[in-house]
Amino acid sequence: MSENTERTYAFQLRIDAVVPGTTGEVGIHPEFGDFAFDPDTTNNTVALAVN
């Protein structure tokens, strides 16, 4: 699988309160172990901002 491959994953997000300046992140990880094809797991997380 190429490092430039794009995938789409559905997820749900629940926001209970507005807190200005709050940040978060979304990460994708297999249920057990690691992705065998992905030797660099440091790029499996992305910042998330909801405005």
Domain boundaries, the chain: 1-51
**pLDDT of 4:** 74
Residue 1 pLDDT grade (very low, low, confident, very high; cuts 50, 70, 90): low
pLDDT, tens digit, 9 for 90 and up, residues 15-51:
888 888 888 888 877 777 767 777 777 777 888 777 6
User: What letter represents residue 51's amino acid?
Assistant: N
Report pTM: 0.47
**pLDDT of 5:** 76
Rounded Cα distance between 15 and 13, Å, is 7
Residue in 26, 21, 32, 24 with CA at minimum distance from that of residue 7: 26
Burial class (CB in 10 A: 0-12, 13-18, 19+), 19: exposed
DSSP 26: E
